[in-house]
Every structure is written in structure tokens, then in C-alpha cells.
Amino acid sequence: MDVFATRRFNFSASHRYWREEWSLEQNEAVFGKCTNRYGHGHNYELFVTVAGAVDPITGMVMNMVELKRLVTTVLDQFDHKHLNEDTPYFREVIPTTENLVRVLWGLIEPQLPKGVRLAKLRLYENSDLYAEYFGLQQQATFNRRYEFSAAHRLHAQSLTDEANREIYGKCNNPNGHGHNYQLEVTVDGLIDAQTGMVIDLVDMDRRVQSVLDNWDHRHLDYQVAEFAEQPSTAENIVVVLWQRLEALFGSQLKHLRLWETANNVFDYPLSQH
């Protein structure tokens, strides 16, 4: 059985989204502020996951010092650079997060030692957006984080008041309580050859917000139909959100992660991340 090992890296770079054959209006409609002629920048965060058998002598899958050296050498080509102007990889290709993580895979994977394979790259453009790549040619996953605020009370109508208090404790407060929920939505698909994206980010935001706007600053038990008869636990919330979002995204929707608090996190369906 392989063991998976991950190391985090950081680099800073600027980039611009622009297609010369498109009009200004078309570029702005697809890429928004990212069309700024002078570029914009990010503090990128890259997680490199390698896999392999544990060496019986060293006890390692791969020496992390060597992985650091290898990946840092690659990232030196991008760090404190303008991706479009200062690297050869994005003269004709738009440096989206999806395209960038795919380029990094192509540079890192061939340099790994024998017996070690590159299992996954996860590249954060910022704290609420990342792309993952698994080496599947033009296919990648894209993750976006959203937030909504809502009140609720944990109470099962089929149980006695005493049983509800025993099971739910403070969360059974008749006056309710609330959370700043954070929802991570993961979709996958082919990287579009023209836009460099798995999905139109503006359209993704519109679809997700069309669901969350009906939950934000609401009391879930009183104002969301699905919780009229079932407790508004995070487990039930993430399943209901899946049902609503699947109707909008279809098979492109792959995974939801719901943060109720910093300590309580719920995944649906089974996370492959």
C-alpha cells in the first residue's frame, strides 16, 4: 500500500487573462477584472502530494528535503514573475489556476525519483479558490468557498423535550443560535482551451448564490422548507445543499464541504481530497 506525503510551497506572481482575438467587451464579460492590462497578482500556495512505498531503510516515501529542492527549483521560474510576460508557458495559454497547476505538474512529475509518483497538486490562488490536478491531461477540479449566515435550533419533533435537551444540549435553545457557515463547492471537468477554466467562475458564483441567497440571514427551521420536518443539523444541511446544487450543476458537481465552525466540518459525498 502506498503512503501519501504532502509538502506546502509558496510563490508570488502576477498575471493577466486576455484573448487577443476577442473584443474588449467579450474579454471583460468572461474574465472581468482579470483583464486589467497591467496584470494583477497573488500569493500562491501549492500543495505537492507524492506517493509510494515506504523505503525499509530510510523509513520515507521520499526525502522531504529533496522534494523541497526539486519543487523550489521549478517554482523559481514563476516566483516574483509576470506569468504572461516572463515565462514561456503562457504566451498563448491563459494563466488560470487550472492551467498553471497543469503546467507545474508537467515540470515536477518527470523529476521525481524512481518509485515515487506525483499523486496530486493543489494550487490556491487565494484562500477561497483553488484548483487540483491529478495528471489527467485536460481534466482538473476547481474549488470555491462561499459563506452564509443563518440561525437554527436543533430539535427533533419525534423526540421528547427532555430527550432533545439531552442529545443537543445548548443547540436545543428554544430561541435558537447561529453560525457563519462556510461552504466549499468542488466541480470538475475539462479545462476549456479558450478560457483556461473548468467552469465559468461568474456563472458558478451565480448558481451557488441563487441557492445560498435563500438561506443567508434566515432562520433555517422557519424559512427553509426542508427543515420544517427534520433537524437542521450540519449533516442534513450539507445533503440538502447537495440536492439543490446538483440540480444546477449536474454531474459536474463532485463534492461539498460544510464548515459549521472551525472545529466541525462535514463532507458530502465521501471526500476524495
Contact predicate 116/53, CB 8 Å: no
Residue 259: strand pairing partners: 182, 265
How crowded is residue 124: how many other Cβ atoms within 10 Å of its Cβ?
20
The C-alpha angle 34, 36, 42, rounded to 5 degrees, equals 55
34 classed as catalytic: no
Radius of gyration for the chain, computed over Cα atoms and rounded to the nearest angstrom: 22
Q: Which of 80, 177, 217, 273 is catalytic?
A: 217
CA–CA separation, 176 and 223 (whole Å): 13
Q: What is the signed CA dihedral for 97, 99, 103, 108, rounded to 10 degrees? A: 40
Q: Give whole-number Cα distances, 25 to 18, 19, 22, 31, 108, in Å.
A: 11, 11, 8, 10, 37
Instruction: Provide DSSP, 27-52.
Output: HHHHHGGGG-TT-EEEEEEEEEEEEE
Q: Are strands 218-219 and 117-126 parallel, antiparallel or unpaired?
A: unpaired
Q: Which of 28, 45, 66, 171 is catalytic?
A: 171
260 classed as catalytic: yes
179 classed as catalytic: no
Q: Are strands 117-126 and 129-133 parallel, antiparallel or unpaired?
A: antiparallel
Task: Classify residue 262 by its DSSP letter.
Answer: S
Task: Classify residue 159 by its DSSP letter.
Answer: S
Please give the positions annotated as active site: 171, 217, 260
